[in-house]
Amino acid sequence: MADAIVSVPASARPGEVVEIRALVRHPMETGFRHTQTGERIPRNIITQFECSYLGAEVFRATLHPSITANPMLVFALRATFSGRIEFRWSGDNGFSVTESATISVA
Amino acid sequence: MLGLPALATPEEMQAAMARITGGANVRRGRVKLQLPPLVENGNSVEFSVIVDSPMTETDYVKAIHVFTEKNPQPYVINAYLGPRAGRARITTRTRLADSQTVHAVAELSDGSFWSDSVSVVVTLSACIGNLV
Amino acid sequence: METINLNRRSFLVSSAVAGGGLALGLQLPFGITAAQAAETTPEINAWVVIKPDDSVVIRVARSEMGQGTITGLAQLVVEELECDWSKVSTEYPTPGENLKRNRVWQSYSTGGSRGIRTSHDYVRRGGAAARMMLMQAAADQWKVPVNQLTVNKGVIAHGASGRKVTYGKVAAAAAKLTPPDEKAIKLKDPKSWKVIGKPMKRFGTVDKVTGRQVYGADLKLPGMVNATIMECPVFGGKLKSFDAAKVTGMKGVKQVLRVGDTAVAVVADTWWHAKKALDALPVEWDFGDNVKVSSASIAEVLKAGLEAPQAFVGNKAGDIQSAIKGAAKTIDAVYEYPYQNHAPMEPMNATARYTPDRCEVWVPTQDGEASFAAALEASGLTADKCEVYKIDLGGGFGRRGAFQDYVKQAVLIAKQMPGTPVKLLWSREEDMRQGRYHPVMQCKLTGSFDSANNLTGLHMRLSGQSILASVRPAIVEKAGGKDPLTFQGVADSGEHSIGYTFPNLLIDHAMRNPHVPPGFWRGVNINQNAVFIECFMDELAHAAGQDPLEFRRKFMAQHPRNLGVLNAVAERIGWSKPAPKGRFRGLAQMKAFDSFVAAACEISVDSTGNKVKVHRIVAATDPGYAVNPAQIERQIAGSFVYGLSALFMQECTVKDGRIEQDNFHVYNSMRIAQMPKVESIIMPTGGPIWGGIGEPTICVAAPAVLNAYFKATGKRLRSVPLKNQGIELV
């Protein structure tokens, strides 16, 4: 899959609450596992997810090792005006992925 | 290899919850944690947290925190919302190491905390008996 | 297609109408009897239903797969209930009901030889509580103190007044009473058992013999369609594409469907039409990298593990390195055990019906709750909308508990045909190709001796696949990367602890996990561990110039129960006396699943060394408590068929990333003429722990035979199956 896939309705009425889905490719290595030969596999997870709409944050999350690989997040936002929705994932080892979408509100 | 907690305990989870809530009183209600009561292996369990809130500028959900009792560490996710979210509902997927109770705590704009919890049975854990 | 309301009553009536016959309906689990019980006759508690005619229905959570567990569990309840055994039948409460009632029936898991040993206490308490409530109801009716009453075979009596009443007459009143406090329930002393410990006739035998038993593979529901499936034969590969157009015109074909990322299914009016179409369907797979893997490449990796510097330690005493270094002599040997398949007589199947409001599954399963969890996940519905109906299994052996792939497949297919019951039945070839295989393992054993020929140390290095790393990684994580299950039978403590004490010992495991999906084959890791250690003990005895039994006894002073079963088989086989001419003996022992087991056999081998006849095989088992001795004898014999078939004839090999053996012509099994008479010694010694029966004994037959073979020929066999060395069982 691509690094990230987001699902945003193309359009909405003003004030309508819409569902946003965000999926990112990442192993979410917990840091608790070991190799077959007993070496601990270091933690490598996404720790932060941010979503902003029209430049202001609408949703943010701190992720922990319990979250499964290729983390999926579903949340909501209230559509106000047409504009961009920005998504950003960041985490261990300098991981940083961004994605964006536009929503048309009328 | 030594020094890692084998699995967290309910006590560690309570401590983690207390850190988040600052020791404030957490009441049951207004929060609905949706989680299947039975899962086969716990490798990937989808869950939702829904909080009953109008999500207006003056009455909204500030954050939703999810905890487990028996994963290697107690935190699952800390989600931060706000009035622009429109609806206090999140869905994601967690790993569950064993049969256990999962807790969701919501912090509201008025500073109150509300919670829900669900017990999940991992059917595979009966299969293997008392090993560790 | 008409919508059929498949509640419990109506589908039974319709199946009669559809030509299934009322007899068929009555065999289905949780059918009319249960519906009647729920609506017209009282449940005393979750475990016991008593009808007005005094017949008793015992609820059973575990699954019957030929091991006799429902009879044994009923015996446990009935012992405390004190009803008439001749009036007893059993039923399976559904997993959905268990959930609704806060898991009142607790675990449904039937595996690990634990059906009886982990539930005996609470099911007996369930029977006792019901008895106490029935007697209280009679006492209330007669207005006498309950301690003046006695009960026998479901008849309550008040000696002083001569009054009597049967359970059926007080059941309704008893059902209204408050259950007794846990602390008030006292279980009977085993010395006074009348039903437990007796060879009660098994429920269901007549139906199996006369063909009335309905298995999942036989199930017929109104409006049902039939499906068969093929998953990518190279594990880890994916389904790329298929050309449905080539088969949709074939007779009976209804649908050709993708199932998940890895499988394609054909749905037709009959199973045969579905199979023919699937066989003719052009399919393209993306096999992935695992297509390069073969048994030879796996063996190379495992061989290297035998000498690798790192391994997970399972059992340790003293200092083996010093013992070996300072030894007067050392001997070593390398053994190997292959992948095995469960190959139950009934291939994997599940029947599912899906609508957005309800998902129902009918399935032979070792764990009704695991099937329920699988149905939940695959349907995407909430628990209140799902249900699973358990059907007796045509063999489980560990394939049908931890693995519910066929349930998920059936639901995924049914989801694409809402409202229609879909019976998914795998072909034998699919069952052989999509197993959850007993893991491949090699073992290097080294023994050190002092100058007086005393064994000073043993190093057992296992190299091979971990089951739990794949199936239950949380346990491996918790143990720092180690799989504790690998050491079954040679562990340092617990239900599978080693039956010897050595001054210096190291048992370790170089974990090497090929891509083949592992699973729990009957006995699990005791199968290869018993071959490894019990054959090497004979090698050590031989190197020390000692008798194999005498040699073992030296290390068993701290293992009296192991010694007990070993001595029992030795005595029965006549170990201290010479064997008949041309016959040779071997023995073996192990503790597994909290039971102590041993075997001794007598074989003859022809002059070529290729034809082996097993004339006698003696088994001893000490499970602590023996609920049904007749059933234990049968389990022992059945386990020997399973274990000896594997020893002589069975292996699953890998070529081009897939399992080669696809049917019984290349994965053979013993026939009746080859099967020796099994002499069973059942010697329960009581105590606080109840041991299992289904699995432990399987492990001792093979090493006993291998040890006898050495006696007969002077040749050590260290690789299974024996057919690969030209040896056959006659």
CATH of the domain at C336: 3.30.365.10
Structural tokens at position C611: 């034809």
> In this structure, is residue B97 part of a structural domain?
yes
pLDDT at C208 over 90: no
> In this structure, is residue C20 part of a structural domain?
no
Q: What average pLDDT does the segment B88-117 reach?
A: 97
Residue pair C75/C631 in contact (Cβ under 8 Å)? The answer is: no
> In this structure, is residue C403 part of a structural domain?
yes
B7 lies within 8 A of chain C by CB: yes
Identify the pLDDT of residue B104. Answer: 98
> In this structure, is residue C34 part of a structural domain?
no
- DSSP assignment of B19-37, as one string? HHHTT--EEE-SEEEE--S
Query: Do C446 and C321 sit in the same domain of this protein?
Result: yes
CATH of the domain at A32: 2.60.40.10
State pLDDT tens for residues C268-323. Answer: 999 999 999 999 999 999 999 999 999 999 999 999 999 999 999 999 999 999 99
Identify the pLDDT of residue C32. Answer: 34
Strands B113-122 and B38-39: parallel
Q: Of chain A residues 51-90, which have a CB less than 8 A from chain B?
A: 53, 56-68, 71-78
State pLDDT tens for residues A52-65. Answer: 999 999 999 999 99
> In this structure, is residue C170 part of a structural domain?
yes
> In this structure, is residue C242 part of a structural domain?
yes
Identify the pLDDT of residue C371. Answer: 98
Provide φ and ψ at C645, rounded to 5°.
Answer: -60, -45
Instruction: Domain of residue A40: give its range.
Output: 4-105
**Nearest of C443, C403, C618 to residue C539 by alpha carbon:** C443
Q: Give the separation between CA C619 and CA C597, rounded to whole angstroms.
A: 7
Q: Give the separation between CA C11 and CA C425, rounded to whole angstroms.
A: 21
**Nearest of A17, A32, A31, A24 to residue A48 by alpha carbon:** A24
Q: What residues in B contact C379, CB-CB < 8 Å?
A: none
Instruction: Domain of residue B39: give its range.
Output: 10-117
Q: Give the separation between CA C668 and CA C724, rounded to whole angstroms.
A: 13
Q: Which residue has the tokens 């987001």?
A: A6
pLDDT at C409 over 90: yes
Identify the pLDDT of residue C12. Answer: 34
Q: Out of C366, C401, C425, pick the residue that ends a domain.
A: C425
**Nearest of C374, C387, C373 to residue C97 by alpha carbon:** C387
Identify the pLDDT of residue B131. Answer: 60
Q: What residues in C contact A34, CB-CB < 8 Å?
A: 476-477, 480-481
**Nearest of C476, C477, C509, C467 to residue C490 by alpha carbon:** C509
Q: What average pLDDT does the segment C7-13 reach?
A: 35
* Residues near C183 by beta carbon (within 8 Å), at least 6 away in sequence: none
pLDDT at C25 over 70: no
Instruction: Domain of residue C379: give its range.
Output: 216-288+348-425
CATH of the domain at B63: 2.60.40.2470
**Burial of C211 from C-beta contacts in 10 A (0-12 / 13-18 / 19+):** exposed
Q: Of chain B residues 18-37, which have a CB less than 8 A from chain A?
A: none
Identify the pLDDT of residue C283. Answer: 98
> In this structure, is residue B42 part of a structural domain?
yes
Query: Do C359 and C492 sit in the same domain of this protein?
Result: no
Band of the pLDDT at C1, cuts 50, 70, 90?
A: very low
> In this structure, is residue B129 part of a structural domain?
no
Q: Which region among C65-74, C280-289, C304-313, C580-589 has the lowest average model confidence (pLDDT)? A: C65-74
Structural tokens at position C77: 């309840």
- DSSP assignment of C383-449, as one string? GGGEEEEEE--S--TTSSSS--HHHHHHHHHHHTSTTS-EEEE--HHHHHHT--BBPPEEEEEEEEE
> In this structure, is residue B15 part of a structural domain?
yes
Identify the pLDDT of residue C20. Answer: 27
* Residues near C500 by beta carbon (within 8 Å), at least 6 away in sequence: C537, C552, C555, C556, C559, C562
Q: What residues in A contact C473, CB-CB < 8 Å?
A: 33
Query: Do C235 and C378 sit in the same domain of this protein?
Result: yes
Cβ–Cβ gap C377/B132 under 8 Å: no
Longest dimension (CA), chain A: 59
**Nearest of C674, C531, C572, C670 to residue C614 by alpha carbon:** C674
- Structural domain count of chain B: 1
Query: Do C220 and C200 sit in the same domain of this protein?
Result: no
**Nearest of C181, A57, C374, A54 to residue B43 by alpha carbon:** C374
pTM to 2 decimals?
0.93
Look at chain B and count its residues: 132
Structural tokens at position A94: 């300098």
B128 lies within 8 A of chain C by CB: yes
Q: Give the separation between CA C138 and CA C368, rounded to whole angstroms.
A: 37
State pLDDT tens for residues C635-648. Answer: 999 999 999 999 99
Q: What residues in A contact B68, CB-CB < 8 Å?
A: 66
Query: Do C133 and C172 sit in the same domain of this protein?
Result: yes
Interface test with B, best of A66, A86, A105 (most B CBs within 10 A): A66
- Structural domain count of chain A: 1
Query: Do C334 and C354 sit in the same domain of this protein?
Result: no
Identify the pLDDT of residue A69. Answer: 97
* Amino acid identity, position C318: G
> In this structure, is residue C2 part of a structural domain?
no
Structural tokens at position C418: 């809402």
pLDDT at C682 over 80: yes
Query: Do C172 and C255 sit in the same domain of this protein?
Result: no
- Structural domain count of chain C: 3
Q: Which residue of C has its CA nearest to A33?
A: C477
Mean pLDDT over the full length of chain C: 93
State pLDDT tens for residues C137-162. Answer: 999 999 999 999 999 999 999 999 99
Structural tokens at position C519: 């699973």
State pLDDT tens for residues C379-402. Answer: 999 999 999 999 999 999 999 999
Mean pLDDT over the full length of chain B: 92
Residue pair A79/A62 in contact (Cβ under 8 Å)? The answer is: no
Identify the pLDDT of residue C59. Answer: 94
Q: What average pLDDT does the segment C332-339 reach?
A: 98
Query: Do C254 and C141 sit in the same domain of this protein?
Result: no
Residue pair C117/C67 in contact (Cβ under 8 Å)? The answer is: no
Q: Give the separation between CA C436 and CA C399, rounded to whole angstroms.
A: 7
